[in-house]
Each structure stands twice: as structure tokens, then as C-alpha cells.
């Protein structure tokens, strides 16, 4: 069984940035093969990895509503299209959910994504799920178990409060989560005392473990603006070094 790593947090905190850095980490540490799942309807993980998306699960599901080629069952056709949707890179594959069936309608798309992940799971050591804002979307993926939930916050009181609320939702949503961490992205150095107090309170009251801080980085901004892959970031970058230290702590390397 693969280890499932899910990312959550409010919008704009850097979940996708963290997912891209995590892919760099897994490939650098030879913890592969890995599957990255962009489960946000506004997909952009591929942009940080500099890969083109040929098709999405949303498009495939629409195709499955039409005619099936002669001589193929619907399951066989779905299996073929599913493998066509995978973007294969060195050490990892990327799968993109894409747009749902209609405005605000995610149930069918989530169900299909969950079914697709279930079919592919045994091919990978790790599956990273880059989730959209909030937790309800993640609950609809019907994952049997989440080994690591990384709740990403920006360095703001509102971001930390949202992270705590997300942690509180894991119980009512009946998610089977083994370990959950708070990771603060774009952190200033040093951490202001007022922010540290908010973090300490959120950790103490929610049961979250504090994974650490990824610093604000002009290098990450330049990499994104240039269109270059985060996989190609130099490992002596301060942000990369700090991210690797955090991931070593979480994954026991």
C-alpha cells in the first residue's frame, strides 16, 4: 500500500508550492515512484513542474458518457483512458482532476478521481494529493486512510486560525488520519513573537504537530515566473534546504 500525503489549508497559503517541493524531495531521496494528484479544479501544479496537461479526469469522465469503441467494455475503455491521462516524468507521475461537471458540482468528479486513485495505488510508494481549499473536498475522495496530512498556513493570524479549524474538522468528517502537521509557508525570519504565540496555541489546542517553517523566497518566485520546474531548483537554496529538513522530520529520513 502506498503512503498517502494530503495537503490542506485555506486558499493562497502555498499548498501547491509545498506539493512541488515535496515531489522534488521524494525524487532526490529516491523515494519513488510517486503519484501527484492535482485535485483542485483550478489545476496549476503542472505549471510548477513545467509539464503540459494533455487531458484531465473531468474530460475522460465526459468521454465515458458517450459511445465506447467496438470490442471494448466500458471498464477496459476507462482503464485505457486513465493511463493516457497520466503525465509520466522521471520518478513521478501527475494526474489532474480538472473541472467538475458543472458549476459547484464536484461529487461525480470526486467519485471518479477516488476510483482512479484506487486502480493506480499499488503502482506507487507515495501518493500526494494537492487538495483545494478546505477539507470537504478531501473527504469526498473516499480515501481509506491518510498517512500524512500537511495543513499549510501563511504567516498570518487568519491562516493559523484556519489551519486549526481544518484540524478540528478531521474528526466530524471521519477521516482516518495517522499524522497531521502544521507547516507555515513564506515565513519571515525571525518569526514575530505574536505569530509564534498563535502557532503555539493552535498546536496545543488542536493536536497538530508543528512541522516547521518554509521561508519566504525570491528564488521560488523567480523559478515560477521563468516557467522552470521546481524539480530543478538547486538543493543549496534556503527554501529547499528548509523544506528538506521538514520532510526528513516527517518521513523519518
Write out pLDDT tens, residues 167-211. 888 777 777 889 999 999 999 989 999 999 999 999 998 889 999
The whole-angstrom separation of Cα 153 and Cα 10 is 7
Average pLDDT along the chain: 85
Contact 136, 173 (CB under 8 A): yes
Contact 118, 57 (CB under 8 A): no
Indicate if the pLDDT at residue 5 is higher than 70: yes
Amino acid at each position: 500500500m502506498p503512503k498517502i500525503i494530503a495537503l490542506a489549508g485555506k486558499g493562497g497559503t502555498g499548498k501547491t508550492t509545498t506539493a512541488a517541493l515535496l515531489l522534488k524531495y521524494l525524487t532526490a531521496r529516491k523515494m519513488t515512484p510517486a503519484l501527484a494528484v492535482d485535485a483542485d479544479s483550478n489545476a496549476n501544479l503542472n505549471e510548477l513542474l513545467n509539464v503540459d496537461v494533455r487531458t484531465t479526469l473531468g474530460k475522460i469522465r465526459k468521454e465515458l458518457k458517450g459511445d465506447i469503441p467496438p470490442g471494448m467494455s466500458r471498464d477496459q475503455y476507462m482503464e485505457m483512458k486513465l493511463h493516457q491521462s497520466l503525465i509520466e516524468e522521471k520518478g513521478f507521475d501527475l494526474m489532474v482532476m480538472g473541472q467538475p461537471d458543472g458549476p459547484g458540482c464536484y461529487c461525480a468528479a470526486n467519485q471518479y478521481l477516488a476510483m482512479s486513485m484506487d486502480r493506480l495505488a499499488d503502482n506507487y510508494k507515495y501518493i500526494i494529493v494537492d487538495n483545494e481549499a478546505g477539507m470537504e473536498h478531501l473527504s469526498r475522495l473516499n480515501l481509506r486512510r491518510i498517512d500524512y496530512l500537511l495543513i499549510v498556513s501563511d504567516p498570518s493570524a487568519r491562516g493559523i486560525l484556519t489551519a486549526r479549524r481544518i484540524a478540528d474538522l478531521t474528526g466530524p468528517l471521519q477521516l482516518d488520519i495517522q499524522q497531521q502537521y502544521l507547516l507555515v509557508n513564506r515565513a519571515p525570519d525571525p518569526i514575530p513573537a505574536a505569530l509564534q504565540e498563535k502557532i503555539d496555541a493552535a498546536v496545543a489546542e488542536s493536536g497538530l504537530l508543528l512541522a516547521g517553517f518554509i521561508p519566504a523566497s525570491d528564488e521560488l518566485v523567480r523559478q515560477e515566473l521563468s516557467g522552470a520546474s521546481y524539480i530543478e531548483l538547486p538543493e543549496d537554496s534556503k527554501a529547499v534546504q528548509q523544506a528538506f529538513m521538514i520532510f526528513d522530520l516527517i518521513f523519518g529520513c
